[in-house]
Amino acid sequence: MEFLSQQLNLRITQAAQSNLDRNWYSDGGYDQFCRIYHVTAGKGIIKCSNREMLLEPGFFYLIPSHRHLSYSCRNHIAINWLHIELTISSGIELFTVIDSGIIRMRCPELQPVDEFQRLTVEFPYKAMADMVRGQGMVMQLLASFFVEGRIVMPQTVLVDVTRFDAVMKMISNSPERAWRVEELAAVTGLGRVRFSTEFKRIFGMPPVRFVMLKRIERARHLLLYTDLTIEAIGNELGFHDGFHFSKTFKRIIGLTPKQLRLTGNVAIP
């Protein structure tokens, strides 16, 4: 784990306080962000990596990224929450190389709770000092989660991850391209079969699926933060047509591109 502590990068992407009712519901959508919840009232249910957990007051929750996530609420739940990106090396997401489900941690004292609430109220941060303070607070919480959760690190050493740095940059820079496994393997100096085997061992999925997830992540960003039409986004990212794009997007995210746009201005935990 030593190499991770030397190159762990954190970015807070969204933060808010939400009072939710039974309309807060998702059934297995894929999400790229890591989440930290602090429940202040009510109860809900969250399911990640085939493990269901009760959301209730008095606890912090760490919900890893790059998982299929389901959540629901029967009556009412109030959550202070953050979405964060955690990356190592050349933008490789931490939870693609660490196998972890949801981690629940009892709030140890009032100070972290108050500080976390302040982070969610003040976002987006206006001053550099506020941003640094916020990142420091989140890093402290993460340290506690890692101890509390007994996160299992696979038998992966730094050279295993950094061997794929160039591949990750290629995919991230051009997710729309129909990358062939042979092309990606050649960059690492591995044969096609060995490359696919090592890639799945480290990142938990085949290279082709990883490329598709990166394409969908890029599509989500364009849907939320640009005025491009859904058809134009699909074309830009290499989908055959709008139907193919919408079908693939819903299968992975759990919403159609149109549905995501309609809810995009609403902060959702």
CB atoms within 10 A of CB 192: 15
Express each pLDDT in 190-227 by its tens digit: 999 999 998 988 888 899 998 998 899 899 889 888 88
Give the lowest-confidence range in 48-57, 106-115, 163-172: 106-115
Instruction: Mark out the alpha helices in the chain (DSSP H runs).
Output: 2-7, 110-122, 128-149, 158-162, 165-173, 181-188, 192-203, 207-225, 230-236, 242-253, 257-263
Angle in degrees, 0-180, between the axes of helices 242-253 and 207-225, rounded to the nearest 10:
100
Asked whether 191 and 183 are in contact (CB, 8 A), the reply is no
Rounded Cα gap, residues 183 and 116, in angstroms? 45
Specify the pLDDT at position 1. 47
Rounded Cα gap, residues 43 and 72, in angstroms? 9
- The mean per-residue pLDDT over the stretch 172-177 comes to 88
Angle in degrees, 0-180, between the axes of helices 181-188 and 207-225, rounded to the nearest 10:
100
Express each pLDDT in 28-46 by its tens digit: 777 788 999 999 999 999 9
- The mean per-residue pLDDT over the stretch 150-165 comes to 68
- The mean per-residue pLDDT over the stretch 174-186 comes to 92
> What is the pTM assigned to this prediction?
0.83
Instruction: Give the chain's domains with CATH numbers.
Output: 2-149 (2.60.120.280), 163-263 (1.10.10.60)
Rounded Cα gap, residues 190 and 29, in angstroms? 33
Q: Which of 38, 26, 28 is nearest to 82 (CA)?
A: 38
Express each pLDDT in 75-114 by its tens digit: 999 999 999 988 876 678 888 888 788 999 988 666 788 8
